[in-house]
Structure 1
């Protein structure tokens, strides 16, 4: 009887441990994909911040990126503290996950570009 109880406790412990490992792998994979999207968005933002204020890539409107993301350039409206600057919003989707998995929200970074700093 004692052996049976010991085997039952061991089995429950191993089962719980295996479930925890599976959950940790899903969380790790999700974090890895989010980090990839964040690094991609940051790289695009750094490239855009190096451009001249009047560069074609910083023209007002929505611009597509080759990897499925996009960025939107808009003027900050007059009357606000930052009027006359361009606001840049970079949107980067997460890399593909498991088939049938819920799609997480895209990663979005926002910055402003000033003509004085980027003539």
Structure 2
């Protein structure tokens, strides 16, 4: 609390001092925890939405690749070779996954 005219720090009661300390601690805690958490929630919200959309898009592309290999190689991959389009799709998806992992981890510093 602010000092009035003719009032010194010694004139305040212990209750007023404790109340002032409580308000200072509460305001500091809000400033240092609540405000950064609001920013973190926004960051996580958009990150999760982006991750979900990216996962859906990649899944669609992998299925499209599988269907393209099956339809374009219909005469080649008949009978005993019908599993090959799945192997091709798995290999391509694995390579893309490894490239993404490499791109993510290459930006980190070693310290």
Q: Quickly name the TM-score band, shorter chain normalised.
A: 0.3 to 0.5
Structure (1 or 2) with the greater helix fraction: 2
Bigger CA radius of gyration: 2
TM-score, scaled to structure 1: 0.44
TM-score, reference length from structure 2: 0.46
Q: Using CA pairs under 8 Å that are at least 6 residues apart, name the structure with larger relative contact order, 1 or 2.
A: 1
